[in-house]
Amino acid sequence: MTGPLQVLSGTFNPPFRESNLLGKVDHQLGANAMLFYRYSYFANFLPATFGFGYSVYANKDYTRNHEVKLDFNTGNFTHSVRYSYLKF
C-alpha cells in the first residue's frame, strides 16, 4: 500500500498511564433510612508540550471524590441529604 498517509501507518506506545479506583458501601439504617458512601480516585499521566519547540513537561492529574448520602422517610415524604467533596 502506498499513498500520502503511508508514513502514519503502524503502531506506537504512547507514555500515557491512567488509574481508576471506585469503592461503594450501602447500609440500611432501619426500616425508613438508608446510608450510602462512595469513594473514587482517578489519576493520569501524559507527557505534553506547549508546542513551538518548548520542552516536554509531565501533565499529571489526580482526582479524589467522597460522596455521602442519607435517604429517609417521614410519613408520605422521602428526604435526601447529600454531601460531596472533590479534590482535583
Alpha carbons 86 and 22: distance in angstroms, whole number = 14
pTM score, two decimals? Answer: 0.66
Number of domains in the chain: 1
Query: Does residue 43 belong to any structural domain of this protein?
Result: yes
Tens place of pLDDT per residue across the chain (88 aa): 567 777 666 665 567 788 999 999 999 999 999 999 999 999 998 877 766 666 777 788 899 999 999 999 999 999 999 999 999 8
8 Å CB contact between 47 and 66? no
In a domain, 65, yes or no: yes
**Residue 2 included in any domain:** no
**pLDDT, position 58:** 77
What is the domain extent for residue 67? 17-87
In a domain, 1, yes or no: no
Q: Is residue 41 part of a domain?
A: yes
